[in-house]
Amino acid sequence: MRGDKMVEKRERLRLPVSIHSQIAAHIVQEVSRISKRNDVSIFFRKINESRLVPAGSMLSMVTFFASRGEEIEVIIEG
């Protein structure tokens, strides 16, 4: 993390497709690349749920069970 200041950014998305294993693999690959390059952590959370899912973890993404049209929150910390 840069310095001692933590910044958090939240965005809501409506999923155009369900997240299945092939899409999850692409998401994890891109999130890992972005996280390393920018020294951030990226999480997904379903709207109206409290569980944060690390978007860079294949196991977490496969168990996320997000469906087409569902609204999720993307949280970036760093």
CATH number at residue 29: 3.30.1340.10
List pLDDT tens digits, range 22-31: 889 999 999 9
- The residue range of the domain holding 17 is 8-77
Q: Is residue 1 part of a domain?
A: no
Instruction: With CA atoms as reference, report the closest residue to 11 among 57, 60, 45.
Output: 45
Please check whether residue 56 lies inside any domain of the structure: yes
Burial of 44 from C-beta contacts in 10 A (0-12 / 13-18 / 19+): buried
> Is 47 contained in some domain?
yes
pLDDT digits (tens, 9 = 90+) for 13-70: 888 888 888 889 999 999 999 999 999 999 999 988 999 999 999 999 988 888 888 9
60 in a domain, yes or no?
yes
What is the domain count for the chain?
A: 1
Let me know if residue 41 belongs to a domain. yes
The answer to whether the CB of 66 falls within 8 A of the CB of 13 is no
pTM of the model: 0.80
Within a domain: 51: yes
